[in-house]
Structure 1
Amino acid sequence: MSRLINKGILLIVVLSSIVIITISVYNYAKNPKDSSSLIVASLAIIASVISGYGAQKVVEYQEDKEKPYPYPIADLQSRYNLAQLTVKNYGPSPAYNISIKWDKPLVSTKGEIIEFKGSSQSEIPVLPPNEHISKPIDTATALYSMEDLNFTGTIKFEDGGGKKYNNLFHISFEQYRKTLLHEKEELKMYYQLQKIPKGLDSISKELNKIRKKIDNNSSPRGRKIRRRSKIH
């Protein structure tokens, strides 16, 4: 039963009790004994409703604490010179069938619409608590060639019981415009370190070429060719 229906039932019970009390007070002079009993019973019902409403709020609060809460964020600090769209589940339980509906599509400078491609029914089938998933958008330099970097929309998802949620969101990359993206240089250092294996491969290829030349010159055939060249 939904929260709205529960609150509606409680409201109807309270209003009915108030009506009974009003009628009983009006008829008290004619039948004081019965009227007194109705008033006491109605007041007891109202007290029970108030107590029940408090218990319901506690249950709702507990449910809210346990529900998943995926939310999209703008990320320019996790990767060097790379802007990403990240969806993180801030809730304590898994979120299922996550999809994002943009008011204005998030598009890269290459014209690519940024979206999470999952199953045919949802973009992200499941996202565990405190986990995140990221999608590259563009380099930071290219991203800030765009004028408007504010985006809004609706993120839809389900909890483990199949209950559906629709939450509005607002993300912006504007706060990073003309600012230092990284307080330290570790990310740039790691980025440069990633180039070392490629450089080592190039050096290895050149050494192999040199080794082959030396081997060819050291072979009997190579010596004969050198002798002939000297004679001529």
Structure 2
Amino acid sequence: MTRITLGNIGNYFSLVLAIFSLAVLVYFAQQFWSTQNPDFANAFTGAGAVLAASISALVSFRTISIAEEAQKPYPYPYIDTQSRHGLALIKIKNAGGSAAHHVYIEWEGSVPKLRQSSGPEEAEPIHFAGDDAHAIAVLMPGEEQATMLGASHWVAKKIKMLEKELRGQVVFRDIKGNLHRQPFYIETSFFQWSLVDETELLRAQYAVSMIPDALAKINTSLTKISEHTKP
């Protein structure tokens, strides 16, 4: 259900006024054409001014509607394979312009089993913000919460085996306490053809992070060699 806002009300009345003004404009133009009465010409000019004003108001209220839409909270789940090397995460990010409160996910059908368990092939349901009792208290604009699913290649394999799409609703409340149910769809066709690592950046970052350990081992080896070569 569409919320009633200043922008929506203004859009509606401006559109009605524009249509009415256009109808009056056409009527007076037709009357002036058939009678050549200057009074109809004056009325035509007035109707034209009202039409121009209503169109200007329509544009202004449309701008207000866009601004109001941008200020709404917009939490959305997605699967992230770029933030951690070799791992897949599921995240909920608020991409809107205001805080989203009491955020949780209602999956379509049963909860998908995409969380890696202790066994190599065992999978557990995704219990991340999965109900009202485990909801995320608040997500500020641009903020996100995440939990690990498992190794990227393992998650990719399980996603390919899914029999249904990852759909559902994100349930949350806005700053006024109004309840919202926002449908979502997590795109997974990417896992059907992509590599495990989307870019080489993660590999490079991981390799760089291993340099201090390698240098420490080299230093230890050189120290031992030095001790054995002393006369």
Question: TM-score interval w.r.t. the shorter chain?
Answer: 0.5 to 0.7
User: In 2, are the aligned partners of 1:14 and 1:46 still within 8 Å (CA)?
Assistant: yes
Q: Percent identity?
A: 22
Please state whether the residue corresponding to 2:20 is helix, strand or coil: helix
C-alpha spacing 1:36/1:177, structure 2 compared with 1 (3 Å):
closer
Q: Which amino acid aligns with 2:125?
A: E
Deviation string 1:11-63 (CA, Å, 9 cap, x unpaired) is 22122112222332343355824423322221111111111112112222322
Deviation string 1:137-177 (CA, Å, 9 cap, x unpaired) is 23335324422466334434443244646253333361785
Q: TM (normalized to structure 2)? A: 0.64
Q: Which amino acid aligns with 2:112?
A: L
Which residue matches 2:19? Answer: 15
Unmatched 5+ residue regions in structure 2? 115-121, 214-231
TM superposition shift of 1:77: 3.8
C-alpha spacing 1:137/1:97, structure 2 compared with 1 (3 Å):
same
Deviation string 1:53-89 (CA, Å, 9 cap, x unpaired) is 1211222232233333322121234345442211112
C-alpha spacing 1:156/1:39, structure 2 compared with 1 (3 Å):
farther
Alpha-carbon distance in 2 for matches of 1:169, 1:81:
24
Please state whether the residue corresponding to 1:40 is helix, strand or coil: helix
Q: Which has the higher contact order (CA 8 A, sep 6+)?
A: 2
Alignment root-mean-square deviation, CA: 3.5
User: Greater CA radius of gyration, 1 or 2?
Assistant: 1
Which residue matches 2:83? Answer: 78
Aligned residue among 125, 134, 138 for 1:112: 125
Aligned residue among 191, 206, 210 for 1:174: 191
- Pair 1:61-2:61 in alignment: no
Please state whether the residue corresponding to 2:27 is helix, strand or coil: helix
Alpha-carbon distance in 1 for matches of 2:138, 2:106:
17
Q: Which amino acid aligns with 1:106?
A: P
Q: Which amino acid aligns with 2:149?
A: I
Q: TM (normalized to structure 1)? A: 0.63
C-alpha spacing 1:97/1:41, structure 2 compared with 1 (3 Å):
farther
Alpha-carbon distance in 2 for matches of 1:177, 1:36:
68
TM superposition shift of 1:4: 4.6
Alpha-carbon distance in 2 for matches of 1:151, 1:89:
19
| Aligned 1:1-232 pairs, distance under 5 A | 1-2=4-5, 3-28=7-32, 32-79=37-84, 81-103=86-108, 105-108=111-114, 109-117=122-130, 119-120=132-133, 123-146=135-158, 147-148=160-161, 151-162=166-177, 164=180, 166-172=182-188, 174=191, 178-180=195-197, 182-184=202-204, 186=206
Q: Which moved more, 1:77-86 or 1:28-37?
A: 28-37
Please state whether the residue corresponding to 1:184 is helix, strand or coil: helix
Alpha-carbon distance in 2 for matches of 1:71, 1:187:
32
Unmatched 5+ residue regions in structure 1? 194-232
User: In 2, are the aligned partners of 1:154 and 1:166 still within 8 Å (CA)?
Assistant: yes
The count of residues paired between Structure 1 and Structure 2 equals: 190
User: In 1, are the aligned partners of 2:103 and 2:129 still within 8 Å (CA)?
Assistant: no
Alpha-carbon distance in 2 for matches of 1:53, 1:65:
18
User: In 2, are the aligned partners of 1:88 and 1:130 still within 8 Å (CA)?
Assistant: yes
